[in-house]
Chain A
Amino acid sequence: MTENVSGSRSDSFFRLEGITKTFPGVKALSAVSFDLRAGEVHALCGENGAGKSTLIKVMTGAHKKDSGNIVIDNEEVEFVNTHQAIEMGISCVYQELSIVPLLDVARNLFIGNLPRKGRVIDYKKLYADTADILEKLGLTISPHEKAGELSVGQQQMIEIGRALTRKARCIIMDEPTSSLSERETDTLFEIIEKLKNQNIAVVYISHKLDEVMHIADRVTVIRDGQHIISKDISDITEEQIISKMIGRDLKNMYCKEPGEPKGIALAVKGLTKHGVFEDISFEVRAGEILGFFGLVGAGRSEIMRAVFGADKYDSGQVIINGKTLKPGSPARSIVSGMGFVTEDRKQEGLMLELSVLANMTLPKLKDLSSGGVIRRKAQREIAQKYIDSIRIKTPTMNQLAVNLSGGNQQKIVIAKWLMMDPKVLIVDEPTRGIDVGSKAEIYALMNELAKRGVAIIVVSSEIEEVMGLSDNVITIFEGRKTAKLKVTSSLTREEILAASIGGVTEKCN
C-alpha cells in the first residue's frame, strides 16, 4: 500500500523507521517511515488528523514512540525529551510561536542558551551574536526590539534564527506561511534556500500545495496514520498529491456557478479609521460572493470588524438592507442580519471549553427562549438539524468544542451563523489550517448560501481561493481600496497581485 520510489538511501542522516504510536482509543501512527537528507526540503502532506502532528512530536521528542526506530547518522537514538532532540540538531518551528513577547529579540534568539563568561551572562557577546544571525537572515530589526512588537513573519524568522543558534541540522516548519504575506513568504523561501546551502534540512508541512511544489525536493503523504507515498517533487503532480491525501479524486473544488445578481444587501460608504483604513466604499449584492484580497496587515480584517461592529470607526456608514447601522455593536449587526466568521476560530470564534451545542446556539438564544428561559428541546433540535445538514463530525452535541478537528470546528462556527439566516455573511480566512476534504465542503456550503440569496464577503490571503470563489474581488493595500475587479476567465493572478500591492485600477464594474 505504500509506494516508496526513492527508498531510504543510506545518505539520509535522519530516519524514522516503522514508527507506531497509539493513544487511548486511537492508533495515530502505524509503521510510518520517514527519512531526511542533508540540505533537502522534504514536504510532509496530509489531512488534519492524518497523523502529521503526532509524527512531528515523535521527531522532536515530545512524544515517545511505541515501536520503531529513530536513527541519526546511522546510530539508533531514543529521545527522552524535546531538549535532547534539540541538542541532537532537530529543531521545530511550530504554528503557535514560542516567542516571549516582553523580552527583546536577542533574548528570544538565545532562550535558555545565553552566552556566558563564567557564571555571568555576557551581554556584549549576546548582542553581537544576535546581530550576526539577524544579518544572516536578512532581517533589518534591532536586537533590542521587543519581540512582541514584531510582525508575525518577523517572529517566525526569530524562531528559525533560534534553531540556527542551536546548530540545527534539521528544521521542521509546521504551516509556516499561514500568517505570512506574499512578501514575507518570499523572504522565508530565500531563507530556506540559504539553509539548504548550509546543508541544513527542512521538513516543510503545509496545506498550500502550490508552495510545496515550488520549494520542496521531495514530498511524503500521510493518511490515516499510515505512510502512503514518498516521491521526488519532479515525479509527482499537485493533483496526485491531493488524491493521495484524501484517497479519492477531487474535481474542481470551487465549483462556482454564476448566479443572477439581485438587490444590494450591504453598502459601505467612506468607512475610515485613522491609521488603519481610509475611505473604504463597496457594495455587495444578494447572492454575490465578494472577495477581499490583500497582503497580511493591509487592514482587511480590521475593515470587516468595523463593518460588523466589533471595532469602532471614525467616519463612514454601514448600510444593511437599506438601514444605516450604528457603529460599535455586534449585537445590533446580528439583529440586522449580519454574520461574521472570524479569522481565528480558536481565539475569536469558539468557546473551546463549552459544548458544540452551546457554541452553535449562542447568537440564536434569544429566539430559542421565552421570557429569558431557554427552550431546551428547541435548542437541541435546531442544533441537531445543522449538525446533520453540514455533516459536523462529533459523537454528541455535548462534546466540548476543543475536541473536534479544525475543519469541524470551523463548521460549528459556520453553522452558528447559518441558523441565524443572515442576509450578509462575512467570512475571514474560511479555510485557514483546514484539510483539503473539509475545504471542499466549506466551499460548497458557501456557494449553496450564495445561491439562496445570501451576500457573502470572503477575506482571504490565498489568491487561488479568492479567484475560485468570488464573483468580484476588491483589493486592499495599506488600508485603502486599490481596485475592484470582476473575476472572469481572463483575470490573471498577476493583475490581482499587482492591485494588492498598490497598483490602482478600476476594471469593469
Chain B
Amino acid sequence: MQLKATEKPTLKERVGGIQNFGIFIIMLVFIIVVVALSGVKFFTPTNLLNLLRSISVTGLMAVAATLVMITGNIDLSLGWMIGLAACITGVHSDNTVVAIVFAVLACAACGAFNGILIGGLKLNAFITTLGTAYVFKGITMMYSDGKILTASVQNDSLKFIGQGNILGVPTPIWIFLIAGFIFWFLLKSTTFGSRIYAVGANAVSAKFSGVSSAKIVMAAYILTGIVTGIAGVVFYSKVMSVQPYSGAGMEFDVLTAIVLGGTSVSGGKGNVPGTIIGIIFVGILSNGFTLIGLGSNAQYITQGVILILAMRTDVMSSRGMRG
C-alpha cells in the first residue's frame, strides 16, 4: 500500500498561499464590496499609486515578521521601530546613504535586542515586545524631541525612494516585491527557512536535530529589524516628513495581515504569499474606506469583524497564544 512518494508537489504546495479557502473568499467579498462602494474614485491613477505605496510600507514589515510568527513568536514593537527609522531618516534627510545605513543599523539593533531577550533568554515574546515597544518609543521620542521632522534640504535621491517610479511602478512597490521574493525564497527553499518552520513546530525537537532555536529566532528578529529600517526610510520619503508616533499601531495591521494570510499564531505554519494577500487586503480596506468617506472608525470596526469571521472559518484549534 506504499504509494510512490516522489510525486511532484502541487502548484499550491510549490508557491504557498492562503491555507484556508474560506478566509480567502471572505476577503474577496469584502474587497469587492468596498471597491464597488468607492466607485470610480478607487481606480484613478493617483489613488492606486497611493494605495500601492502605503501597502509597501506595511508589506515590508509584514513579510519579514512572517518569519517571526512562524517561529511561534510575535513582534509588537514594530510600530516604534519604524518610527525610529523614519525619524533617523528625517534627521539625516540631507544625506541619503547615511540616512539609510543609520536607520537600518538602528532597527537591526532593535531587532537584535528583541532577539536576545526572546531567542536567547526565552522570554515571552508577546509581553517582551510590548516592553521593548516602550523602550523604542522612549528612544524615538528623545531622538526626535517629540517634534515633526520635515526635510529642509532638497534631496532627490531620497525623494526618489518614496515618490519615484521605475518603469511606471512606484519605487516602494519594487522594494516591497523584491523583499517579498527574497523572504518567499528563504522560507520555501533554503535550509534557514526549513529551520524556521522546525523551530516553530517544536523547538525542542529542532534542538535535538542540531538546530539552535536561539540563533534562528534571533535571526528572524534581526531580519525583521533590517527590513523595518528600510520601511522607515520609505515611510519618511513618501512625503519627506514624519511625526514620531505615526508608526504606532502599524504592528496590528501587520499582525492582522499575517494572520489573515494563514500563518498560525502558535507557529509552524504560514507563508509569504499568504501574508502578501493579507496586506493587500488590509491596504485596500483602508484605502476604500477613506474614499467612501467612512474614516478610520469604520475601518477598524470592519477589520475587527473580518478577523473574527476569517478565524471562524479556519479550522484552528483553540490553543491560541498562551504564555
Q: Which residues of A contact B (CB under 8 A)?
A: 308, 310, 329-331, 333-335, 340, 342, 347-354, 358, 362-363, 365-366, 369, 372-374, 376, 380-381, 383-384, 387-388, 393-398, 416
Contacts and interface: CB of A to CB of B under 8 A. Distances in A.
A374 B268 contact: no
Contacts of A381: 6
Nearest to B7: A396
B194 interface: yes
B211 A362 contact: yes
A330 B210 contact: yes
Contacts of B190: 369, 372-374
A423 B2 CA distance: 30
Given A342-B205, A380-B6, 7 more contacts: A347-B205, A350-B205, A351-B198, A353-B202, A353-B269, A362-B195, A374-B190
Given A350-B202, A352-B202, A353-B201, A310 B207 contact: yes
Contact of A372 (B4, B192, B209, B268): B192
B186 to A, nearest CB: 9
A354 B268 contact: yes
B16 to A, nearest CB: 14
Contacts of B211: 331, 362
Interface string B54-76: 00000000000000000000000
B270 to A, nearest CB: 11
B268 A351 contact: yes
A380 B6 CA distance: 6
Contacts of A347: 202, 204-205
Contacts of B191: 365-366, 369, 372, 374
Given A396-B3, A398-B13, A354 B198 contact: yes
A387 B190 CA distance: 23
Interface in B4-30: 4-7, 9, 13
7 contacts: A330-B208, A351-B198, A351-B201, A351-B268, A353-B202, A365-B194, A393-B1
Interface string B258-272: 000000000011000
Nearest to B191: A365
B302 to A, nearest CB: 31
Nearest to B269: A353
Contacts of B13: 398
Contacts of B208: 308, 310, 330, 340, 342, 348-349
Contacts of A383: 5
B192 to A, nearest CB: 6
Which residue, B9, B13, B197, B208, has most C-beta atoms of chain A within 10 A? B208
A381 B6 CA distance: 7
A362 B3 contact: no
Given A331-B212, A384-B6, A387-B5, A348 B192 contact: no
Contacts of A369: 190-191
A330 B204 CA distance: 11
Interface of B: 1-7, 9, 13, 189-192, 194-195, 197-198, 201-202, 204-212, 268-269
A333 B210 CA distance: 8
Contacts of B9: 398
A330 B205 CA distance: 11
A412 B306 CA distance: 40
Contacts of A376: 189
A362 B204 contact: no
Contact of B201 (A352, A363, A372, A393): A352
The 10 nearest A-B residue pairs measured at CB: A351-B201, A331-B210, A397-B5, A365-B191, A351-B202, A334-B210, A362-B209, A353-B268, A363-B209, A372-B190
A184 to B, nearest CB: 25
Contacts of A353: 201-202, 268-269
B88 to A, nearest CB: 31
Nearest to A357: B5
Given A354-B201, A397-B5, A416 B209 contact: yes
A156 to B, nearest CB: 23
A373 B189 contact: yes
Contacts of A365: 191, 194-195
A308 B2 CA distance: 35
Contacts of A331: 210-212
A145 to B, nearest CB: 24
Which residue, B189, B204, B208, B209, has most C-beta atoms of chain A within 10 A? B209
A126 B189 CA distance: 58
Contacts of A350: 202, 205
Contacts of A398: 5, 9, 13
A190 to B, nearest CB: 35
A374 B189 contact: yes
B53 to A, nearest CB: 32
Contacts of B202: 347, 350-353
Contacts of B4: 384
B210 A374 contact: no
Which residue, A347, A372, A381, has most C-beta atoms of chain B within 10 A? A372
B210 A380 contact: no
Contacts of B189: 373-374, 376
B37 to A, nearest CB: 40
Given A330-B207, A416-B209, A362 B194 contact: yes
A351 B206 contact: yes
A190 B207 CA distance: 40
Nearest to A401: B201
A350 B198 CA distance: 9
A366 B7 CA distance: 23
A404 to B, nearest CB: 13
A340 B207 CA distance: 11
Contacts of A334: 209-210
Contacts of A348: 204-205, 208
A342 B204 CA distance: 11
Contacts of B206: 351, 362
Contact of A374 (B2, B5, B194, B207): B194
Which residue, B5, B189, B206, has most C-beta atoms of chain A within 10 A? B5
A173 to B, nearest CB: 28
B5 A396 contact: yes
A393 B206 CA distance: 23
Nearest to A341: B208
A42 to B, nearest CB: 34
B3 A395 contact: yes
Contacts of B3: 395-396
A376 B197 CA distance: 16
Nearest to A416: B209
B22 to A, nearest CB: 20
B217 to A, nearest CB: 15
